[in-house]
Structure 1
Amino acid sequence: MSNSFSVRFILKKYKAKNGKAPIYIRLTHNGKHCDSSLKRKIPVEKWNTNQRVSGTSIEVRKLNRYLDQIYNKAFEIFENLQLKDEFISAEIIRNKLFNLEEEQQITLLSASKYHYDQNINNFSTGTLKHYKVTERYFERFLSAKKNLSDIAIEKVDYKFLLDFEAFLRAWKPKDHQKPIGHNGIMKHMCRFRKVLNYAYKMDWIADTPFKKYHISYEKSTRTYLTEEELSAIEVKELDIARLEQIRDIFIFSCYTGLSYIDLFNLSKDHIVIGINGEKWIQYKRQKTSTPFSVPLLPKALELIEKYEDHPKAQENQLLPVVSNQKTNAYLKEIADICGIKKQLTFHIARHTFATTVTLTNGVPMETVSKMLGHTKLSTTQIYAKVVENKIGTDMAALQEKLSNSEQMRKAD
């Protein structure tokens, strides 16, 4: 990595008053500079091309000696920082040169917290929560592997990234959670990269080690309910009220494709009369702010009507949605009761809408993409591949069935 440093004196003529302009020092490190006033003014015509003052008077010689001293002292500070292998920036040299109070050292955790605070109004609640989880892993890693409570941000190098990734892969949760999968680890690394990129933009680090690090995701299959599984959950008589309510919320998402957070925020105001004269949902995804419109199918309309007198509906929430954690816990109970072997989570409802409810029934991919609020058609194409795989499996089963029938006919 280059470690260039230069010092220039500049006469800022545009600030001249009564024919005199102020002298500034410009410190430049690795292409990034900062200017500071020397609190000296001279007649504009006295400044020469050697960045000094022309003349032989005592005042001129005294000022030029001062400029020489400042010049030499700046390089001395730079060389001392190099010898001590300390982080260098034009601002740090400036602060030491003029004995200014230096800002508190930027650390990994302080940079992470600052990035979080700056984006409180930009990120969704869910995204902010994910950044906090990543930050807790920073703390665990530093404590367990480095025996540190924090680390200077400039000390985070490529090896640190590899060690952190290895720590995440080996992490064994003590609670009910599962170990972190590959894609989960990559999401933590992606958030880590964004924190360091932010630090780079703030001039807290000279470069980011993520230039050498490759983030890669494994292709994952979309779990969804088949028509038979969806029907089994729909028709099952549930004696426990809380399970019935969660089942209904889940089924509503199966027929609308809404994610948990979008359904949680859905209100009566988002139900409109569409172009066909029927009721539609018109809203925008919290995750991407992409607008989407979904015509309400009869099953969805039936569920809205069922809960229109519910206390939460009176508060303008369309359906009585509880926390995501409780919802997924109750869905596990529902899966057991209905004999569903798949790990039932709320997001499966969205996948089911894309596959079993729409694409399998001939709804064009472009239409499904718009109803799901996808920003790219390629995201929806993942579901199309799932449908193709299902068709292939179904046809293979049909072929086997026909083959067996043919063999039985010949045997007769």
Structure 2
Amino acid sequence: MNKYKLNILFVIANNRTRKDGKAPIICRLTYKSKRKEFATGQFTNPDYWKSKDQMASPPNENYVNNQLSLISQKLNQAFLLLQFKEVDFNVDDIYNSFLGKKSNAEKTIKDAFEYHTNRMQKLVGIDVKQVSVQKYFQTLEHVKTFLKFKYNKNDYLLKDLKMNFINDFEYYLKTEKKFKPHSVYKAIQRFRRVIRVSVSADYILKDPFVFHKIKKPKKQIVYLTQTELASLEKHKFSQVRLEQVRDCFIFCCYTGLAFQEMTNLDAKNIIKGFDGKQWISMERQKTGKQFSIPLLLKPKKILENFLRSSNDSNNKLLPIISNQKFNSYLKEIAEIVGIDKNLTHHIARKTFATTVLLYNDVPMEIVSELLGHSKMSITQEHYGKIVQKKVSEQMIFLSKKLNLKNNK
């Protein structure tokens, strides 16, 4: 039990007297020198109000007094309940408990995620993508499985959240879930964001992430080399499904389209550019940024081939297949062609940025624009090493060239 007392005082709001001469009765709570006022929903004539006795005098004010008495009882019950729970609470928590709501001191990790995702959901279509909201739901599922594994609980009080919880969660993702470094980083990053929003909402007093450090892993860029890309283009597959998936993959190697963009591509996305040539114009699903890509000869021929053989009436320019099946077929394709890489659709986009653009001396700022990145720094972060490798190769070539001249 704490030493602080709850003071309940009913006061008349004389400045809000109605035409019938009655004024609202306000309840004023004071706890730890902090006040909270709320309307009781009861009215009385100020002349009938006895401030010292905290009641209205007759005639016909028994109902009002009974209602005020009930409010006092419920407030004291809420106060006692919070005391028995031995949680740190404030006057707002007492009021919330009185209303039947959870006090901030009783808020849990699930409450924190719900608060954050609800706020995000309202921003979908404004400056948030639905896919971003979904990732927070995925992170919550990881937290829930961790709670079952570590504590055999379904939820966890935010007030009990300490550094050791975060460290154990990170360790769990690495050892039990077998997450790769980048996936661990993203899960922790989203969890941190949820907790920081909870701090700003007064769900939790201190941010347990303040001293937690997790190093952002540098992702290894996997892409097809010129030789691998050429081998893939030349290979003749006996199965139509593999031939189609290969062609779609090659199409994306020369356009940089993400999987969903490839699936959504239809006739209206092919426009006549300022140069009189055909361009692909779309909105980047991940960032919402509009981007345009010149339709090179190879992807143009692939579109023409699909157009000739297609019987679909859905206006889509490429065959529609699930991401799971697409990547599954790519595994078969890689094995048949002899490409020793874990081939997925995303590698096509990486190949476009590296083998097709950067290795053909397309400037970084143009690469960033063609990829539809929201910031130039994102492109530099992902592909800076590729540029360094290109510079190194050019310098070796230059060195050999100079040596030949000197030896003459």
TM-score by length of 1: 0.77
Task: Tell me how far 1:391 sits from its aligned partner.
Answer: 2.2
Look up the match of 1:108: 109
Look up the match of 2:26: 24
Aligned 8 A contact 1:355 1:383 in 2: no
Task: Tell me how far 1:372 sits from its aligned partner.
Answer: 1.0
Could you say if the C-alpha distance between residues 309 and 56 of structure 1 is closer, same or farther in structure 2, counting changes exceeding 3 Å? closer
2:244 aligned partner, one-letter code: Q
Task: Give 3-state SS (helix, strand or coil) of 1:209's partner.
Answer: coil
Task: Tell me how far 1:68 sits from its aligned partner.
Answer: 12
Look up the match of 1:247: 246
Candidates 157, 162, 167, aligned match of 2:167: 162
Quick check: 1:131 aligned with 2:130?
no
Q: Deviations over 1:40-73 (max 9, x none)?
A: 55678999xxxx959999959x999x99999999
Task: Give 3-state SS (helix, strand or coil) of 1:308's partner.
Answer: helix
Look up the match of 2:291: 292
Look up the match of 1:227: 226
Look up the match of 1:148: 153
CA distance in 1, matches of 2:383, 2:257: 18
Alignment of structure 1 residues 3-402 onto 2, 5 Å = 12=13, 15-18=16-19, 21-27=23-29, 35-39=37-41, 41=43, 53=51, 59=57, 81=82, 84-86=85-87, 88-96=89-97, 100-102=99-101, 106-109=107-110, 111-112=112-113, 115-116=116-117, 119=120, 122=124, 124=129, 126-172=131-177, 179-200=178-199, 204-309=203-308, 311=310, 313-382=312-381, 384-395=383-394, 398=397
Could you say if the C-alpha distance between residues 16 and 193 of structure 1 is closer, same or farther in structure 2, counting changes exceeding 3 Å? farther
2:389 aligned partner, one-letter code: K
Task: Tell me how far 1:292 sits from its aligned partner.
Answer: 0.7
CA distance in 1, matches of 2:269, 2:388: 35
Aligned 8 A contact 1:279 1:296 in 2: yes
Gaps of at least 5 residues in structure 2 are none
Instruction: Give the count of matched residue pairs.
Output: 393
Task: Give 3-state SS (helix, strand or coil) of 1:210's partner.
Answer: coil
Task: Give 3-state SS (helix, strand or coil) of 2:27's partner.
Answer: strand
192-201 or 253-262, larger mean C-alpha shift: 192-201
Could you say if the C-alpha distance between residues 268 and 95 of structure 1 is closer, same or farther in structure 2, counting changes exceeding 3 Å? same
CA distance in 1, matches of 2:324, 2:216: 25
Aligned 8 A contact 2:48 2:57 in 1: no
Gaps of at least 5 residues in structure 1 are 173-178
Aligned 8 A contact 2:365 2:376 in 1: yes
Q: Deviations over 1:347-375 (max 9, x none)?
A: 11111111221222232322221111111
CA distance in 1, matches of 2:136, 2:146: 15
CA distance in 2, matches of 1:168, 1:356: 34
300-309 or 128-137, larger mean C-alpha shift: 128-137
2:338 aligned partner, one-letter code: G
288-297 or 191-200, larger mean C-alpha shift: 191-200
Could you say if the C-alpha distance between residues 134 and 310 of structure 1 is closer, same or farther in structure 2, counting changes exceeding 3 Å? farther
Aligned 8 A contact 1:258 1:350 in 2: yes
CA distance in 1, matches of 2:201, 2:33: 14
Root mean square deviation of aligned Cα: 4.3
Identity %: 35
1:24 aligned partner, one-letter code: I
Q: Deviations over 1:324-369 (max 9, x none)?
A: 2222222222222222223222111111111221222232322221
Task: Tell me how far 1:76 sits from its aligned partner.
Answer: 9.3
Task: Tell me how far 1:34 sits from its aligned partner.
Answer: 5.2
TM-score by length of 2: 0.78
Could you say if the C-alpha distance between residues 186 and 46 of structure 1 is closer, same or farther in structure 2, counting changes exceeding 3 Å? farther
Task: Tell me how far 1:231 sits from its aligned partner.
Answer: 1.1
Q: Deviations over 1:248-282 (max 9, x none)?
A: 11111111111112212222221111111111111
Could you say if the C-alpha distance between residues 387 and 367 of structure 1 is closer, same or farther in structure 2, counting changes exceeding 3 Å? same
Could you say if the C-alpha distance between residues 337 and 397 of structure 1 is closer, same or farther in structure 2, counting changes exceeding 3 Å? farther
345-354 or 205-214, larger mean C-alpha shift: 205-214
351-360 or 123-132, larger mean C-alpha shift: 123-132
Q: Deviations over 1:77-114 (max 9, x none)?
A: 658735642263544412555xx444597543455456
369-378 or 119-128, larger mean C-alpha shift: 119-128
